[in-house]
């Protein structure tokens, strides 16, 4: 008889191996799912190859896919880094999608209010406004948790739906393009040079949002390993009672972690609306805020791990688009594939805390 026995300590080996195992299982079962959808199990390997290999190494797709890899990965990594700050402290911000939306609205509002003036200060001001929008939206669940002991998971998640309704409202009203023939949506910021988040290197996919995402990885690395605040965050998450006796203020930690999460998510929204998306529309929110949760855990809340996981998740977006075009796969199947990553990560995490024992051992 096989039984589970709790380990005395967390297995560092399995902590490292389980994300790799989760990716392998996702490819295996994802391939089987695609084979069933296509009515031909022999096509399972081809579908996985089309998603994970061809965008990088097949010259028919690589010229388009490689730059897009950075474009897709940038906002996901930036949001995931912010989420990891809170998650390490045991503070669960599940509403990054709403903070992403508010950051885009605040940042785009600055540009649209100044149109058609040109100035080198417009884009930096948009970045600050976007960061501020995400920051104040994240402060709502933080303040409610500190002063009224509410659950930040529920409050932050419910605020996503509020943000979506605000997005629909401004797209059809306050920020609607006056020259848009009555259609919902703002002016296209790609046509506004001072407000456009253009590529730093042509045809590379590298824009200011991607650069900021990479910078956030470096800063988060030093925060967690070198800064006292990172130490406080780690202690708060691992041993709340010890943090209390060490004199760490839990209220300040909650506000700092939630605020930083919202700030980075808001910046991600601004860089997206000023760059790849180009405008505020009803369908602007792309689910990056929820995808970043998977990336944060797949990366083990480690900045370098999040960087790699973000690039992998971006690959599923790009490869998924190619698979939908070439094989006719439904878009929902790609979302299910992404969800499988988190499912299998959580499932295989059992090995980090438990070991299998047989009777008599």
Q: Residue range 183-198: average pLDDT?
A: 94
> Which tokens sit at 322?
């190619």
- Per-residue pLDDT of 259-296, as tens digits, reads 999 999 999 999 999 999 999 999 998 899 999 999 99
User: Residue 221's pLDDT is what?
Assistant: 96
Q: Residue range 184-196: average pLDDT?
A: 95
User: Residue 63's pLDDT is what?
Assistant: 87
Q: Residue range 321-330: average pLDDT?
A: 93
Cβ burial, residue 106 (10 Å; 0-12/13-18/19+) = buried
Q: How far is CA 320 from CA 103, 248, 258, 265, 283, in A?
A: 27, 45, 32, 24, 19
User: Of 198, 61, 179, 203, nearest to 116 (Cα)?
Assistant: 179
Mean pLDDT value across the chain: 93
* Cβ atoms 197, 271 nearer than 8 A: yes
CA atoms within 13 A on the CB side of 191: 8
Round to whole Å and give the CA distance between 58 and 35.
21
User: Residue 358's pLDDT is what?
Assistant: 73
Round to whole Å and give the CA distance between 15 and 20.
10
Q: Which residues contact 40 (CB under 8 A, 6 or more apart)?
A: none
Provide, rounded to the nearest whole percent, the portion of the chain with pLDDT above 70. Answer: 99
User: Residue 1's pLDDT is what?
Assistant: 66
User: Residue 298's pLDDT is what?
Assistant: 94
> Which tokens sit at 67?
């730059």
Helix 303-327 crosses helix 208-226 at what angle (to 10 degrees)? 150
Look at residue 360 and tell me whether its pLDDT is greater than 80. Answer: no
Q: Which residues contact 225 (CB under 8 A, 6 or more apart)?
A: none
Q: Residue range 6-10: average pLDDT?
A: 82
More confident residue, 202 or 199: 199
Look at residue 359 and tell me whether its pLDDT is greater than 70. Answer: no
- Per-residue pLDDT of 129-182, as tens digits, reads 999 999 999 999 999 999 999 999 999 999 999 999 999 999 999 999 999 888
User: Residue 361's pLDDT is what?
Assistant: 55
User: Of 183, 202, 154, nearest to 279 (Cα)?
Assistant: 183
Neighbours of 298 (CB within 10 A): 25
Query: Could you say which DSSP state residue 194 is in?
Result: G
Cβ burial, residue 85 (10 Å; 0-12/13-18/19+) = buried
Round to whole Å and give the CA distance between 306 and 75.
12
Burial of 123-134, coded b for 16+ CB within 10 Å and e otherwise, reads: bebbbebbbbbb
Q: Which of 10-14, 39-43, 151-155, 180-184 has the highest mean pLDDT?
A: 151-155
Least confident of 58-62, 111-115, 268-272: 58-62
Peptide bond into 116 cis (omega under 30): yes
Q: Which residues contact 240 (CB under 8 A, 6 or more apart)?
A: 90, 250
């Amino acid at each position: 008889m096989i039984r589970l026995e709790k380990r005395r300590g967390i297995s560092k080996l399995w902590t490292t191996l389980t994300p790799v195992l989760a990716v392998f299982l996702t490819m295996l079962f994802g391939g089987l799912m695609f084979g069933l959808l296509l009515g031909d199990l022999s096509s399972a390997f081809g579908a996985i190859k089309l998603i994970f290999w061809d965008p990088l190494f097949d010259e028919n797709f690589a010229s388009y896919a490689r730059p897009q890899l950075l474009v897709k990965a940038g906002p996901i990594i930036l949001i995931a880094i912010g989420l990891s700050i809170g998650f390490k402290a045991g503070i669960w911000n599940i509403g990054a999608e709403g903070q992403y939306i508010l950051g885009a609205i605040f940042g785009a509002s600055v540009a649209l209010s100044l149109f058609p003036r040109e100035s080198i200060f417009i884009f930096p001001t948009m970045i600050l406004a976007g960061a501020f929008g995400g920051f104040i939206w994240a402060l709502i669940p933080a303040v409610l948790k500190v002063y009224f002991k509410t659950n930040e998971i529920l409050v932050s998640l419910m605020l996503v739906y509020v943000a979506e309704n605000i997005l629909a409202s401004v797209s059809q009203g306050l920020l609607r393009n006056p020259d848009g023939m009555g259609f919902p949506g703002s002016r296209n910021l790609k046509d506004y040079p001072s407000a456009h988040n253009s590529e730093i290197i042509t045809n590379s996919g590298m824009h200011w949002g991607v650069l900021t995402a990479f910078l956030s990885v470096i800063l988060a690395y030093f925060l967690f390993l070198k800064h006292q605040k990172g130490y406080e965050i780690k202690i708060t998450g691992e041993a709340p009672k010890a943090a209390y006796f060490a004199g760490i203020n839990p209220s300040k930690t909650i506000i700092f972690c939630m605020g930083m999460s919202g700030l980075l998510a808001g910046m991600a929204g601004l860089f997206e609306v000023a760059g790849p998306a180009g405008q505020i529309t009803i369908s602007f929110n792309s689910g990056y805020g929820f995808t970043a949760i998977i990336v944060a855990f797949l990366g083990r809340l480690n900045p370098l791990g999040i960087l790699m996981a973000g690039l992998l998740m971006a690959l599923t977006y790009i490869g998924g688009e190619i698979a939908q075009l070439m094989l006719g796969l439904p878009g929902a199947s790609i979302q299910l594939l992404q969800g499988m990553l988190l499912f299998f990560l959580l499932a295989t995490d059992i090995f980090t805390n438990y070991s299998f024992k047989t009777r008599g051992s």
